[in-house]
Amino acid sequence: MTVPGRRSSTFSRLLRHGFTDPSGAERLLDVPELSTLRGDDVLLDALGATADPDLALRGLVCLVEAQPETERQTFTTTLLAAKPFRDRLLGVLGASEALADHLARHPRDWESLVTYEAADLHPGVAEFERGLAEATDEVSLRVAYRRCLLAIAARDVCGTIDVAETAAELADLATATLRAALAIARAAAPADAALCRLAVIAMGKCGGHELNYVSDVDVIFVGEPAPEVGDLEGGEAKAMQAATRLASHLMRICSETTVEGTIWPVDANLRPEGRNGPLVRTLSSHLAYYQRWAKTWEFQALLKARAVAGDPELGAQYIDAVSPLVWQAAERENFVPDVQKMRRRVVDNIPAAQIDRELKLGPGGLRDVEFAVQLLQLVHGRSDAGLHSGTTLDALAALAAGGYVGRADAAQLDEAYRFLRAMEHRIQLYRLRRTHLVPEDDADLRRLGRSLGLRTDPVADLNKEWKRHAAVVRRLHEKLFYRPLLDAVAQLAPGEIRLSPKAAGQRLEALGYEDPAAALRHLEALASGVSRKAAIQRTLLPVLLGWFADSADPDAGLLGFRKVSDALGKTPWYLRLLRDEGAAAENLARVLSAGRLAPDLLLRAPEAVALLGDPEGLKPRGQDHLEQEVLAAVGRASDAEQAVAAARGVRRRELFRTAAADLIGSYGTEDSPREPDPGALVDRVGEAVTDLNAATIAGALRAAVRAEWGDELPTRFAVIGMGRFGGHELGYGSDADVLFVHEPREGVDEQDAARAAGKVVAEMRRLLQLPTADPPLLIDADLRPEGKSGPLVRTLKSYAAYYHRWSLVWESQALLRAEPIAGDRELGDRFIELADPLRYPAEGLGEDAVREIRRLKARMESERLPRGADPTLHAKLGRGGLSDVEWTVQLLQMQHGWVEPGLRTTRTRDALRAAHAAGLIPTEEAQTLDEAWVLATRVRNAVMLVRGRPGDTFPSDPRELAAVGRYLGYEAGHVGEMVDDYRRITRRARAVVEELFYGA
């Protein structure tokens, strides 16, 4: 019976020693097997030093109860008398529930923890082989493996070995286990063993001597016929079949689950052709594959290849044969796009629901460090054999020693990587499960924090340290890949190591820069010197270089940044904006490296960089707001030329705002993910460009009127938008299709009014076409009555008379897009009233009119497509392109607009949705037409953004084509897929057009 005062005293002692359930601990201490130890402070001190004293005590009770009666006294005596043993045993019991269960099943295995008394004893493969020597089948091998694992875990949790040594010992234990499993497989099939030579090549973390507690063990199998078999007819085939059976048996021995659990899965999917390829190949077959078919990532994987089991001579031959191929990978033709793909794969493989808890794949995770180190090895290991280590930390140290990575940067990454690997080890050790997720439960986090030595506030301190180290790793491309490029051109202190020009050039080339020498000159111009400006640039450039490298044209991005910096370098807010507003710097990098149009606009007015840092800066401004600003600028100007120059300046700035928002929405940034709806991007661009062009024309109209008539023209005057302008669907390179209409004011002679209106039109066109650095705004009035032969401007009565008497069906079709955009609003509205009966004819179109529209469309297809153009890739006039979709929708508008109000719109997509809602187009067909129209519009916008001039088909230049692909959402190296997708989507749209428009 427990005395109350004694109970209170024990309860307090247990709390002080870190127990979270003192009552449960008291009950456990009352069991007869531990009653003699209850008041022993030595035991409580040892339990309190563990990661989880409650877990350690429960495991200890189970272990004591599992001891045979005759052995129990020996165990308890040893526990109290031998401090190293006590610390090791309780350390394991407090950190690993799975190993505690193992000890309960095999109670004599505690003795293995007594044998390693020397603190500096680190067993190698040979000693582990001795520990596994008695295993003769799968079950006994698992038991022996866990016994060896127990010893490693004991040294790990007690701090006898560090995280790198733990990982190396785990890899050595894996090597011994593979050898033992192969021996069991060979013993089970001696006939197979006699037919072949088989070598096991460790890959991944096992090959790199940095294995986890629980991880797939990646391997590649190499086989050859035994000497006496190779010359026999069919000998090689029989030998490879035998080798495959042995390899398969080895994998089953390690991977299958028994009452003793699983050792670890053996994964052979890194072999040539992956899981689709033969499990075992000859050496010559491996080499033939690597020389002809292998991708860059496969050579990156081979960087860690190490022969570990089976025929040692064959294993050595394999390593000797593949090593030269690894160090030539950076010279491969597709190295740059493959590198970019590998970099993005790190992020793409993160499950969205786990991103915040992922130690391996998450931002600032282990994969980030490993990938960057391997990439640097591939780039610089061509000429420096000292970088050929398969172990991440050893390779990082070699990179620092060689000057490829700054020493301080390498030290930070080493510390961060060790901490994150230690977290990963302790998380896996608890239940010996393969996981890289940080637990969410506070009890698990407390045990994890305490296991890493964080005892004051384990949960808070763990989260703080984890986030701190992850933040360091998150900048790994700055820390490991880009910053030494600046050191290569900066004035370093004597004795500082920096990249040689050759090494810096190699790194820039690996990043995708086509002219490394020019890139180095830009870096030197930007970052050299001791000025504050140069110091800030040295902070910014490592990050910017990474963003440039992630584009289709890194050279253009860096050149554009230098030009902008030269123009704004003395402006105090510029570099401060980029340094302090992270979004501004990334947005600028994306805009500068995405093509010619946006950088050209920016370089004409570099102060527009400020838009990129304002959260509201990239939102389009409406027509009313723009028109108010333009008219105010026109009003302040001294003459018409200055007035229109001011209006065009506003247009240039707004074009840049629109293009920047489009590019950032299309590419996505860290703060602003990719816009998931391409149609929304198209609509925003169309609306924004239409609004700013309308405001510019309104400004030109005001300037033309003021130049001769002051504030009031003798005739009322309106500008009607037509085509894409009236449909609010303008692209970056679109002309402004318009009609001009006027109406004499009361008391004004009609001829005087006509002359005044003509002068206004001529002056507007002259002003808007004045040669300047701003992008031109071309006014096209060819859709007017009588086309180019007719007067540029007519009265409303003249339009009415013409349309009543002479108009053709195509002119009625053109009026479907008519919408007032500038000038006298009431006059513009009356023009629309005039147009409505023509474009939405009562009772719809007659058969003759439908045939005429179809005839005109067929004629346009045959005559207007440029000579030599591929009709499957022309975005405007090609198969399933803009013209196909628009004419189909417009035919439905003219046939049914008189009874379906939703069809009375100038916008193609709105009309298409209305046609679907009215049951005129089935759902699937409507979606097909919309998808094709959006894609074709985006292709035209992309071409203008990339090339800086309009185009209706994909560029032929590979880099420009790649940039178009990135804008459309395709990763580097997937332009063929982009073109195939375009053809497929537009082919489906054309089939719908054939049915709905032509009635096929």
Residue that wins the pLDDT comparison between 356 and 969: 969
pLDDT at 349 over 80: no
Digit-coded pLDDT (tens) for 283-319:
999 999 999 999 888 999 999 999 999 999 999 999 9
**Angle at 164 (CA atoms; ends 161, 166), nearest 5 degrees:** 50
Digit-coded pLDDT (tens) for 131-143:
999 999 999 999 9
Q: How many angstroms separate the CA atoms of 366 and 446, rounded?
A: 22
Q: Residues 521-532: what's their mean pLDDT?
A: 84
pLDDT at 634 over 90: yes
Q: How many angstroms separate the CA atoms of 489 and 481, rounded?
A: 15
Q: How many angstroms separate the CA atoms of 809 and 856, rounded?
A: 10
β-strand pairing of 306-310 with 793-795? unpaired
Sole residue written with tokens 């090609």? 878
Digit-coded pLDDT (tens) for 192-243:
999 999 999 999 999 999 999 999 999 999 999 999 886 777 889 999 999 9
Q: How confident is the model at residue 77 (pLDDT cuts 50, 70, 90)?
A: confident
Q: Residues 230-258: what's their mean pLDDT?
A: 90
Strands (E) across 811-926 are located at 819-823
Q: Is 311:197 a contact under the CB 8 Å cutoff?
A: yes
Q: 976-985 contacts: CB < 8 A, separation 24 or more? A: 979/873, 979/954, 982/873, 982/935, 982/939, 982/954, 983/872, 983/873, 985/880, 985/928, 985/931, 985/932, 985/935
For residue 645, the surrounding DSSP H or E stretch is helix 640-667
Which residues lie closer than 8 Å to 616 by C-beta, 6 or more apart? Answer: none
Digit-coded pLDDT (tens) for 788-803:
889 999 999 999 999 9
Which residues lie closer than 8 Å to 259 by C-beta, 6 or more apart? Answer: 139
Digit-coded pLDDT (tens) for 718-768:
999 999 999 999 999 888 999 999 999 999 999 999 999 999 999 999 999
pLDDT at 120 over 50: no
Nearest Cα residue to 219 out of 273, 261, 256, 265: 265
* Residue 358 pLDDT: 87
* Least confident span in 568-582, 686-700, 881-895, 951-965: 568-582
Nearest Cα residue to 674 out of 943, 339, 347: 347
| Environment class of 874 (CB within 10 Å of its CB; exposed 0-12, middle 13-18, buried 19+) | buried
* Residue 775 pLDDT: 79
Burial state string for 965-977 with b = 16 or more CB within 10 A and e = fewer than 16: bbbbbbbbebbee
Q: Where are the alpha helices (DSSP H) in 158-198?
A: 163-188, 190-195
- For the chain, how long is the longest CA-to-CA vector? 127
Q: List Cα–Cα distances, 113 to 75, 83, 98, 121, in angstroms.
A: 12, 12, 16, 12
pLDDT at 331 over 90: no
The rounded mean pLDDT for the chain is 90
* Residue 872 pLDDT: 95
Q: How many CA atoms lie within 13 A of 560 on its CB side?
A: 27
pLDDT at 490 over 70: no
Which residues, in sequence order, are bridge partners of residue 851? Answer: none
Q: How many angstroms separate the CA atoms of 294 and 304, rounded?
A: 16
Digit-coded pLDDT (tens) for 567-609:
887 787 888 888 777 688 889 999 999 999 999 999 888 888 9
End-to-end CA gap in the chain: 97
Burial state string for 798-821 with b = 16 or more CB within 10 A and e = fewer than 16: bbeebbeeeeebebbbbbbbbbbb
* Residue 904 pLDDT: 97
Q: Is 794 helix (H, G, I), strand (E, B) or coil?
A: strand
**Which of left, alpha, beta for 497 (phi over 0: left; psi -120 to 50: alpha)?**
beta
Q: Residues 81-110: what's their mean pLDDT?
A: 94
Phi, psi of 223 (to 5 degrees): -130, 155
Q: Is 782 helix (H, G, I), strand (E, B) or coil?
A: coil
Q: Is 260:210 a contact under the CB 8 Å cutoff?
A: no
pLDDT at 329 over 70: yes
Q: Is 358 helix (H, G, I), strand (E, B) or coil?
A: strand
Q: How many angstroms separate the CA atoms of 169 and 425, rounded?
A: 13
Residue that wins the pLDDT comparison between 493 and 515: 515
Sole residue written with tokens 């001791």? 530
Q: Is 264:217 a contact under the CB 8 Å cutoff?
A: yes
* Residue 487 pLDDT: 66
> Percentage of residues in the chain with pLDDT exceeding 70?
93
Phi, psi of 773 (to 5 degrees): -75, -10
Q: How many angstroms separate the CA atoms of 743 and 768, rounded?
A: 24
Q: List Cα–Cα distances, 673 to 577, 659, 663, 824, in angstroms.
A: 21, 16, 11, 42
* Residue 496 pLDDT: 52
Q: Is 119 helix (H, G, I), strand (E, B) or coil?
A: coil
DSSP, residue by residue, 595-642: -SHHHHHHHHSGGGGGGGGSTTTTSPPPHHHHHHHHHHHHHH-SSHHH
**Which of left, alpha, beta for 199 (phi over 0: left; psi -120 to 50: alpha)?**
beta
pLDDT at 339 over 90: no
* Least confident span in 92-96, 258-262, 479-483, 665-669: 479-483
DSSP, residue by residue, 321-348: HHHHHHTTGGGSTTHHHHHHHHHHHHHH
582 residue type, one letter? G
Burial state string for 254-291 with b = 16 or more CB within 10 A and e = fewer than 16: bbeeeebeebbebbbebbbeeeeeebbbbbebbbebbe
The structure tokens listed for 76 are 């308890």
Nearest Cα residue to 17 out of 44, 39, 41: 44
Which residues lie closer than 8 Å to 319 by C-beta, 6 or more apart? Answer: 201, 305, 306, 307
Tell me if the pTM is above 0.75: no
The structure tokens listed for 673 are 């993910």
* Residue 770 pLDDT: 87
The conformation of residue 44, written as its DSSP 8-state character, comes to H
Sole residue written with tokens 């790793």? 473
Q: Residues 820-845: what's their mean pLDDT?
A: 96
Q: Is 524 helix (H, G, I), strand (E, B) or coil?
A: helix
Q: How many angstroms separate the CA atoms of 331 and 454, rounded?
A: 47
Sole residue written with tokens 């790199």? 208
Digit-coded pLDDT (tens) for 24-40:
888 887 777 666 665 56
